[in-house]
Amino acid sequence: MKIAISADGPNLKAQVGHRFGTSPYLIIVDVASGDIEAVPNPGASGQRGAGMQAVVLCISRDVKAVLTGYCSPAAQKQLRANGIEVLTSLNGTVGEALEKYSKGELRTSARVKPIKGKAIVARGALIHAIRSSAKQFTTLLPVLVGVVLVLGLFNAFASRDFLTSIFSGNPVLDTLWGACFGSIFAGNPINSYIIGGELLKYGVSLFAVTAFVVTWVTVGLVQLPAEIAALGRRFALIRNAISFILSIPIALLTVLILNLIGGAP
Amino acid sequence: MAIFPVAMLAVYGILFLVMPDKASMALKSSGTVFLNMLVPLCLVFVLMILINLFLKPAQIVKFLGRGAGIKGILLPAAAGIISTGPIYAWYPLLRDLKGKGAANSPIAIFLYNRAVKPFLLPVMIAYFGWVYVVILTVLMVLGSITVGYSLDVLTRKEDG
């Protein structure tokens, strides 16, 4: 069984961390084997959501009890809901807290019993789940409306003739253009197949059409604001950048393998 | 975030003054896109309620968290392939999962595998041939793992 002790330092001589969410370390102890691991607390930065980051770490490490000075009610609720015991109001060194826990000296006032047993879907829980989901939606809805309006503009102004006029016949440049246009446009992938098929008829290379089809779904400049709002700026920008870059080798490999096998359309 | 849709409405307003025909076409197209989005959005909303009710963060972390192993690849890959509707209808659910402990890698794998659409394969085969479709599909699935792994490495510092 593992327990986690919030700590100001990475060893047993460190003081017990006053706050679970923002203490510099979480000392994870396997009570059975005696193994000790000092893990940097992901919530130590103290930014918003710090407590939840520490909670997620404890859950992922299969911790069964948390020992700390203070744990916020929200974090306690999440820990208890996942069957993790929470013991607060601790001070002294980590080693002293561990010894007290091992001797059962903490089984009185500081102990908060975990909630056990099967969850019953009460009406209150259902209402809370609906409210929570609705809140997520309403937060993102304005951005989604903006994205839909942009798509309308693209559908109105971009035409197949416009696209075919851009491709010059240079395979390298056309592949890049294909990736660029696929990144800008969005919508049902079936549209990319139709447009791609037309581009092939006009003599655009299969490299370009493949890059176009790939980036149509995997890269989304139009929906980037929505992705940033939902998943964070760093995630959205890096994911789209990697997907764009990857479309080039995927396009090259697809066509090269196809030509090797002899199955070109 | 309200600035973006307000700006778009302003663009439409200007467009209606200078090019009313195109503006009407664009607005009509937006309406169609939005209507097509409604059913997947409803599905996503129901899924979010179910996840909030029955899935504990521990389970999400176990299957989609950092260190989930092969489960963290296969599960989101399968989910991405079978998911329907436009991607922006799924953003609220993905945000919810991320908030509950899902790592960046499975989310990226899900998003990338949305390019693989089994029910659209007949159309794709009709335009490009089945050999092309098989090669591209395999490379896309492998590509999704590359994207997921790269994102995991590049955003590791952010997650601590």
| Residue A86 near residue A76, CB atoms below 8 Å | yes
Residue contact A242–B147, C-beta within 8 A? yes
B29 touching A (Cβ < 8 Å): yes
Residues of chain A contacting B84 with CB distance shorter than 8 Å: none
How many Cα atoms within 13 Å fall on the side-chain side of residue B66?
14
A158 touching B (Cβ < 8 Å): no
- Separation of alpha carbons B92 and B108, rounded Å: 15
| Residue A2 near residue A15, CB atoms below 8 Å | no
CB-count exposure of residue A134 (10 Å: 0-12, 13-18, 19+)? middle
**Identity of the amino acid at A261:** I
The number of beta carbons lying within 10 Å of the beta carbon of residue A158 is 14
Residues of chain B contacting A213 with CB distance shorter than 8 Å: 136
Give the pLDDT band of residue B85 (cuts 50, 70, 90): confident
- Separation of alpha carbons A185 and A221, rounded Å: 8
Q: Work out whether the CA dihedral B81, B87, B89, B95 comes out positive or negative.
A: positive
In A, minimum Cα distance to B96 occurs at: A136
pLDDT in tens, A143-156: 778 877 877 887 77
B97 touching A (Cβ < 8 Å): no
**Residue A38 is encoded by which pair of tokens?**
């000092």
Q: Work out the average pLDDT over A69-96.
A: 84
H-only helix segments in chain B: 3-18, 20-54, 57-64, 71-82, 91-99, 104-113, 121-128, 130-154, 156-159
pLDDT in tens, A157-167: 766 666 667 77
Cβ neighbours for A165, distance < 8 A, ≥ 6 positions apart: none
- Separation of alpha carbons B148 and B107, rounded Å: 8
> Least CB-CB distance to B27: which of A40, A152, A225?
A152
| Residue A28 near residue A4, CB atoms below 8 Å | yes
pLDDT in tens, B87-141: 877 888 888 888 777 888 899 999 999 888 776 777 788 788 889 999 999 999 9
- Separation of alpha carbons A17 and A91, rounded Å: 8
Q: Work out whether the CA dihedral A233, A236, A238, A241 comes out positive or negative.
A: negative
Residue contact B29–A78, C-beta within 8 A? no
Residue contact A220–B87, C-beta within 8 A? yes
pLDDT in tens, B36-82: 777 767 777 787 788 777 766 556 656 676 666 787 888 888 888 87
Terminal CA-CA length for chain B: 27
pLDDT in tens, A171-206: 788 889 889 988 887 777 777 887 788 778 777 889
Domains of chain A: 2-112 (3.30.420.130), 139-261 (no CATH)
Give the pLDDT band of residue A112 (cuts 50, 70, 90): very low
| Residue A211 near residue A253, CB atoms below 8 Å | no
pLDDT score at A35: 85
For residue B1, pLDDT beyond 70:
no
pLDDT score at A98: 87
For residue B34, pLDDT beyond 90:
no
**What does A133-144 look like in DSSP terms, one character per residue?**
HHHHHHHHHHHH
pLDDT in tens, A1-54: 888 999 988 888 888 888 888 888 899 998 877 888 898 887 776 666 667 778
Residues of chain A contacting B120 with CB distance shorter than 8 Å: 189-190, 193
- Separation of alpha carbons B38 and B86, rounded Å: 10
B151 touching A (Cβ < 8 Å): yes
- Separation of alpha carbons A229 and A54, rounded Å: 23
pLDDT score at A120: 47
Give the pLDDT band of residue A257 (cuts 50, 70, 90): very high
The number of beta carbons lying within 10 Å of the beta carbon of residue A12 is 18
- Separation of alpha carbons B128 and A2, rounded Å: 55
Residue contact B91–A227, C-beta within 8 A? yes
CB-count exposure of residue A13 (10 Å: 0-12, 13-18, 19+)? exposed
> Least CB-CB distance to A230: which of B15, B91, B114?
B91
B87 touching A (Cβ < 8 Å): yes
- Separation of alpha carbons B82 and A240, rounded Å: 21
pLDDT score at B132: 92
Q: B79 CA to chain A: closest CA distance, Å?
A: 15
Whether pTM exceeds 0.80: no
